[in-house]
Amino acid sequence: MNEGYLKARPAGHTYVNDEIPHDMHFSKMLPAKVVGEQIDPSFQPPTVTFHGPELKVVTRNASKIKIDFWATRSNPESFPIKIWRRSVGKVIWRAANALTEYGDPSGLRQLREAIAEHLGPARGFRPDPDQIIIVHGVQEGLNIIARLFIREGTRVATESPCFQGATSVFEIYGAKLDPVPVDENGIQVERLFNTPARLVYLTPSHQFPTGYSLSLKRRLQIIGWAGEVGAILIEDDYNGDFSHEGSPIMALAGLDKCGSVMYLGTFSKSLGPGLRIGYMVVPKFLIGRAIAIKRLLDTGNSWLDQAVLADFMQNGSYTQHLRRVRQNYRSRRDCLVDSLRSQFGDVHLSGLSGGMHLMWHLPSTFPNAAVLEQMARARGVAVYSLGSAPVRDFGYGPYSERALILGYSSLNERGISEGIRIIAEIIQSLNGTACADAV
């Protein structure tokens, strides 16, 4: 068989070929059986130390679920594809060597400047662009914070219940959690101040999952306490761009005068998680160390995605997009509230002032949340108890068995109304009476 290693000349000798044949540049895969026979049975890989739980994330699939009330999923129909495509063409045209060189690990300067400009009117503070680090969503930001502050035994206070993605990261790095209950005014500050924790994780604008907003009084108390004791507050503002009732309360970072707040923002909710772009606003004394960690993790985000988003924000398209999305989500929230009240009467709801989901506090005459969830799923409707959502439920609050999380941002009004109607049929079949009378 001629493999190309030798070269014969007419009426001459045979020589070694000066050029390796093209297909010899690629390794040829051995049959699986041969590979397997060559493995030493005594081989022992290093011990696997990862022991974290899997984060619950729902993706679209062809399951039997027809109406899905998953929280914090953006509306795919709202993505500004035409404007985005135009921005892609513009930045590609002027890319030069930006696609072939490593960029600043903290992120594209133009994007960081655009984010700083956005945060001024939107969240009440305007950081120095040098304080902003572009990350692959809030989850990477949490990992950077954990690498900065957490070692085995570090105490971290969290809301109870709270976002599972945060608590999982903290525990993987060795933290011990101090859960603090939330009520209609947010985290209970007196209990927080009695913990030994000096690292605190909060979702103050729209507490996940209850939807409560941290009151201004408590924000001021927490900021004052953090400055006095030297605590660091992690402000996860995952959907702070969506306020349905008047102006939102200023972010904790806007009240901070001592460098106590690590602010996390994301474009996963306003545009879509497929972009994988979020950002951190870091106190000045921590910028160098945070950037060093980011460099070690991935040396920075994609230049193209950052450049397109920067253009999208700087030409005013992002502000217009947010305005349209807010109106759309407010309409869907109103439809969900009206549907619940029409079917069940005077329902107890929280999280109405903003965000992309609300919490329905079930009356005592209803089955517990997990049972109702399963019954609805059998009818093609997905609603979520704390146990099936990306929630860390510490098990002793009033929400564990008597609350459902209902996301509305990715459903149209027809789907919302139909889903609630099906749940009403389920309750009515159990009670044998009109739902409104059973509440």
Domains of the chain in sequence order: 67-78+319-438 (3.90.1150.10), 81-316 (3.40.640.10)
The runs of H, that is alpha helices, within 203-302 are: 216-229, 252-255, 287-298
Q: What is the DSSP letter of 251?
A: P
| pLDDT score recorded for residue 67 | 96
Which sign does the torsion angle of CA 126, 132, 137, 142 carry?
Answer: negative
Strands, E assignment, 42-81: 67-68
| CA 244 – CA 132 distance, rounded (Å) | 27
Q: Read off the pLDDT of residues 367-379 as tens digits, 9 standing for 90 and up.
A: 999 999 999 999 9
Bridge partners, residue 265, by sequence:
279
Q: Read off the pLDDT of residues 39-78 as tens digits, 9 standing for 90 and up.
A: 666 766 776 666 666 666 655 554 689 999 999 888 888 9
| CA 135 – CA 141 distance, rounded (Å) | 6
Lowest mean pLDDT among 15-19, 217-221, 240-244: 15-19
| pLDDT score recorded for residue 240 | 86
Q: Percentage of the chain surpassing pLDDT 70?
A: 84
Two tokens at 44?
């022992």
pTM of this prediction exceeds 0.75: yes
| CA 57 – CA 74 distance, rounded (Å) | 13
Those residues with Cβ within 8 angstroms of residue 274's Cβ, 6 or more apart along the chain or in another chain: none
Amino acid of residue 177: L
| pLDDT score recorded for residue 4 | 60
| pLDDT score recorded for residue 199 | 98
| CA 133 – CA 121 distance, rounded (Å) | 20
How large is the average pLDDT for residues 187-192? 97
How large is the average pLDDT for residues 309-319? 95
Which sign does the torsion angle of CA 355, 134, 277, 57 carry?
Answer: negative
Contact between residue 252 and residue 219 where contact means Cβ atoms under 8 Å apart: yes
| pLDDT score recorded for residue 439 | 43
Angle at 319 between CA 106 and CA 257, to 5 degrees: 55
CA contacts within 13 A on the Cβ side of 150:
26
Q: How far is CA 118 from the centre of its chain?
A: 19
How large is the average pLDDT for residues 424-432? 88
Mean residue pLDDT across the chain: 89
Q: Read off the pLDDT of residues 271-283 as tens digits, 9 standing for 90 and up.
A: 999 999 999 999 9
Q: Read off the pLDDT of residues 205-215 as tens digits, 9 standing for 90 and up.
A: 999 999 999 99
29-38 CB contacts, 8 Å cutoff, 24+ apart = none
| CA 224 – CA 407 distance, rounded (Å) | 34
| pLDDT score recorded for residue 10 | 66
Secondary structure (3-state) at 403: strand
Rama region for 159: left / alpha / beta (φ>0; ψ in -120 to 50; rest): beta
Q: Percentage of the chain surpassing pLDDT 90?
A: 74
What are the CA-CA distances from residue 378 to residues 60, 67, 363 (Å)?
18, 12, 22
H-run or E-run covering 177:
strand 176-183
Nearest of 246, 213, 268 to residue 409 by alpha carbon: 268
How large is the average pLDDT for residues 422-426? 97
| CA 354 – CA 338 distance, rounded (Å) | 16
> Is 319's pLDDT higher than 90?
yes
Secondary structure (3-state) at 261: strand
Contact between residue 123 and residue 256 where contact means Cβ atoms under 8 Å apart: no
Order across the sheet with 232-236: list the strands.
Answer: 132-135, 278-281, 261-266, 232-236, 199-202, 155-160, 176-183, 186-187
| CA 392 – CA 177 distance, rounded (Å) | 11
How large is the average pLDDT for residues 157-183? 96
| pLDDT score recorded for residue 432 | 63
| pLDDT score recorded for residue 175 | 96
Name the pLDDT band for 437 (thresholds 50, 70, 90): very low
| pLDDT score recorded for residue 52 | 66
Lowest mean pLDDT among 9-23, 174-188, 236-250, 406-420: 9-23
Lowest mean pLDDT among 19-23, 96-100, 271-275: 19-23
How large is the average pLDDT for residues 363-389? 95
Give the other-Cβ count within 10 Å of 314's Cβ: 15
β pairing state of 261-266 and 14-16: unpaired
